[in-house]
Amino acid sequence: MRKLTWFSVLALALGLFAFDGAAFAQDGDKTLEERMEEIDITDPDQLFEVASWAMKNKKSGKIRREGRKLLKEVLELDEDHVGARDALGHVKVGDTWYTSKKKADAARLKMLEEEMTGKGYVKFRNGFIKKELKRQFDRKTWQLDENLIWRSEEEIMAAKGYRKIQGVWVQMSEADLARADKHRKNTGEDIIVTTTPHYRFHMMTPPKFAKQYAELIESLYTWFFDTFEADKLVSRDQCRVFGGQRVDVWCFSSPQQFQDWVTAYQEEYKFTPEDKKMFRDNPSGWLLRQKRIVTVVNEKAEDMENTLLHQNGIMLLSWFALGRTPPWLREAFGHLCEHLFSGEKYGRVNNTTNSKYGGDGGIAGKEFNTKDMPPATKGIVKRGDDTPILVMSKLGLNSLNGDHLAQGYSHVEWMFNHHLPKMIAFFHSIRSLRVPIESNKWEDVWATYIQASIKAAFEGWSTEQFMDEWRKYV
């Protein structure tokens, strides 16, 4: 290579030599020519490859212009060459390519007009609308969708899985929406349906409570399995504790709504005359264990929490223990669930039933809360009025009075806080033991399993010894 003299260097620095841009273009042309000589110019793909290289050349505008000409030559060979069309900025609408976006948009709009006219739409405010919906149009709530169709807020939200309940948009799955639609068809009322892993909730409550209560009851389910080691006897997955099916939970705001539901769902749930009687006799809600139904009635949604916890706690224990738990134990366990999970400080009795105290009928409220339990049970024991556990285990729900509820909760609270391993064994024994029963009467089944399970879980204790130890605690 020829060396530059000191004069040449100085001349370059001072700009005494002029650079010929054409010379650089010539160098670029040679490179382009060399590339052209290496390909089959009748092959659109090979020609497109060279054209693409030329279009990307950043040093020479002339080479880029040559590249653009080559792209057009590609289209002469293959008018549908997508690469060349895209590089030239062409847009395809239907089967036709347009050389500008403006022309393409005009063609697309014309095509869309023909299509929409055929579907019963008319042009309206830079879009389309069903002719019969023009009078319903509300510019504050209606929106243009991606197909330039004006849609109402209800239609847009429904497509996303939302339903407007009490003025609030609530998202539900397709299955839950179908369930809600069925209820509206049956009763004319809107409800929120929320399906969780182990429950299906039907809420006639303000939307903010639906998610809150669904999560609360699922957490109760998890707590039951974790605390009482239920996994050792039954899988927590796939609703195995409930026989493989979810529990249907219904929340009503009035007794009349509750009774209307009984009529509307007679066929679906196959209610028996006895089922209907229990619903009538328990206007604040009832549960049907075998049918996996929990019902709760409360005018104020915020007051449903305790009842939901109580009833679903009973449902969990009843299914786990195969229906062998006496009413006092079910009620006491329901109160424990309220006490542990409720936002209120103390659990309380939420149900009123047609009592049979002393053979008298009529509605009777059984006033009791867990705060009152310690002094109440102390008074019961001090007076010698406590009921032997086997006697109490033969009493039906309507025969339990306030003292029975206090004593029963005291038994459960004592076991839970001071003998949890034995309580776990107690529940497991009720489920797993096979003991001879003298009769088919439920009261005999309950008493027999209580006696056998106490003996198995409490290391041979008799029911009398159980009562003696409990009295010491009280």
Per-residue pLDDT tens for 281-332?
Answer: 888 889 999 999 999 999 888 889 999 999 999 999 999 999 999 999 999 9
Three-class SS string for the chain?
A: CCCCCHHHHHHHHHCCCCCCHHHHHHHHHHHHHHHHHCCCCCCHHHHHHHHHHHHCCCCCHHHHHHHHHHHHHHHHHCCCCHHHHHHCCCEEECCEEECCHHHHHHHHHHHHHHHHHHCCEEEECCEEEEHHHHHHCCCCCCEECCCCEEECHHHHHHHCCEEEECCEEEECCHHHHHHHHHHHHHHCCCCEEEECCCEEEEECCCHHHHHHHHHHHHHHHHHHHHHCCHHHCCCCHHHHHHCCCCEEEEEECCHHHHHHHHHHCHHHHCCCHHHHHHHHHCCCCCEECCCCEEEEECCCHHHCHHHHHHHHHHHHHHHHCCCCCCHHHHHHHHHHHHHHHCCCCCCECCCEEECCHHHCCCEEECCCECCCHHHHHHHHHHHCCCCCHHHHCCCCHHHCCHHHHHHHHHHHHHHHHHCHHHHHHHHHHHHHCCCCCCCCCHHHHHHHHHHHHHHHHCCCCCHHHHHHHHHHHC
> How much is the mean pLDDT over the chain?
86
Rounded-to-integer distance, Cα 334 and Cα 368, Å: 13
> What band does 154 get if pLDDT is binned at 50, 70 and 90?
confident
**Could you tell me the maximum CA-CA distance found in the chain, to the nearest angstrom?**
129
Residue bearing tokens 């060399």: 34
- Select the more confidently predicted residue: 22 or 177: 177
Average pLDDT over residues 379-405: 93
- Select the more confidently predicted residue: 52 or 23: 52
> What band does 355 get if pLDDT is binned at 50, 70 and 90?
very low
Q: What is the pLDDT, as a whole number, of residue 163?
A: 77
The least confident of 241-250, 277-286, 361-370, 445-454 is: 361-370
> What band does 239 get if pLDDT is binned at 50, 70 and 90?
confident
Q: What is the pLDDT, as a whole number, of residue 58?
A: 83
> What band does 405 get if pLDDT is binned at 50, 70 and 90?
very high
Q: What is the pLDDT, as a whole number, of residue 331?
A: 94
Rounded-to-integer distance, Cα 187 and Cα 202, Å: 13
Average pLDDT over residues 430-459: 92
Residue 237 clears pLDDT 50, i.e. is over it: yes
> What band does 368 get if pLDDT is binned at 50, 70 and 90?
low
Burial of 308 (0-12, 13-18, 19+ CB in 10 A): buried
Q: What is the pLDDT, as a whole number, of residue 348?
A: 57
Average pLDDT over residues 201-206: 88
Rounded-to-integer distance, Cα 326 and Cα 184, Å: 38
> What band does 437 get if pLDDT is binned at 50, 70 and 90?
confident
State how beta strands 293-297 and 247-252 pair: parallel
Spatial CA neighbour of 242 closest among 211, 280, 196, 284: 196
- What Cα–Cα distance (Å) separates residue 59 from each residue in 9, 27, 69, 147, 190? 25, 11, 18, 43, 69
Residue 343 clears pLDDT 90, i.e. is over it: no
Q: What is the pLDDT, as a whole number, of residue 320?
A: 96
For residues 390 and 450, the answer to whether their CB atoms sit within 8 Å is: yes
Q: What is the pLDDT, as a whole number, of residue 21?
A: 36
Residue type, 250: W
Q: What is the pLDDT, as a whole number, of residue 310?
A: 94
Q: What is the pLDDT, as a whole number, of residue 367?
A: 59
Handedness of CA 79, 81, 87, 92 (dihedral sign): positive
For residues 324 and 430, the answer to whether their CB atoms sit within 8 Å is: yes
Q: What is the pLDDT, as a whole number, of residue 333?
A: 97
Rounded-to-integer distance, Cα 346 and Cα 63, Å: 85
Name the CA dihedral angle for 95, 99, 100, 105, rounded to a multiple of 10 degrees: -20
Q: What is the pLDDT, as a whole number, of residue 165?
A: 75
Average pLDDT over residues 158-178: 82
Q: What is the pLDDT, as a whole number, of residue 14?
A: 37
Q: What is the pLDDT, as a whole number, of residue 173?
A: 86
- Select the more confidently predicted residue: 339 or 166: 339
Average pLDDT over residues 350-364: 39
Q: What is the pLDDT of residues 71-125, one digit of tens each?
A: 999 999 999 999 999 999 999 988 899 999 999 988 988 888 888 888 999 999 9
Length of the chain: 474
For residues 310 and 366, the answer to whether their CB atoms sit within 8 Å is: no
Residue 349 clears pLDDT 70, i.e. is over it: no
Average pLDDT over residues 157-161: 81
Burial of 211 (0-12, 13-18, 19+ CB in 10 A): middle
The backbone torsions φ and ψ at residue 128, rounded to the nearest 5 degrees and listed phi first, read: -135, 155
CA of residue 210 relative to chain centroid, distance: 10
CB atoms within 10 A of CB 94: 8
The two three-digit tokens of residue 85, written as one number: 């069309």
Spatial CA neighbour of 176 closest among 160, 156, 155, 192: 192
Residue 252 clears pLDDT 90, i.e. is over it: yes
Q: What is the pLDDT of residues 56-83, one digit of tens each?
A: 888 888 999 999 999 999 999 999 999 9
> What band does 238 get if pLDDT is binned at 50, 70 and 90?
confident
CB atoms within 10 A of CB 13: 8
Residue 33 clears pLDDT 90, i.e. is over it: no
Q: What pTM did the predictor assign? A: 0.67
